Amino acid sequence: MIVMNGQKILQTQNNNEWETVGTIKKVDEGIKPGVYNTYLAKTPSDKNQYEGQIILVDKENAVFYQQVNKSTKIVLCTS
């Protein structure tokens, strides 16, 4: 996910080219500009409670991506 100019864009790499998937939407408050590598997200392996900004909700797959402790770590959670 790329965030810039107040917009978020979902992209995937296909045949060594970046392709925009889905719609370009207004970014939620608190998400800073940058590249969020959601493909690196890890599913929590414990029952700990995590705090952090929800950066992406994937309704189709019933999961959400959360940035933890304002770091680059992103966790993948089921809703």
Q: What is the pLDDT of residue 59?
A: 77
How far, in Å, are 21, 24, 35 from residue 77 at the CA level? 21, 23, 20
**In terms of pTM, does the model score above 0.85?**
no
Q: What is the pLDDT of residue 70?
A: 61
Distance CA 68, CA 63 (A): 16
pLDDT in tens, the chain (79 residues): 888 888 888 888 889 898 888 777 888 887 888 888 877 777 777 777 777 777 787 777 777 777 776 655 566 666 5
Task: Tell me whether residue 59 is exposed, middle or buried, using C-beta atoms within 10 angstroms of its C-beta: 0 to 12, 13 to 18, 19 or more.
Answer: exposed
Give me the count of residues in the chain. 79
Structural domain of residue 11, as residue ranges?
2-78
Domains in the chain, number: 1
Q: What is the pLDDT of residue 78?
A: 63
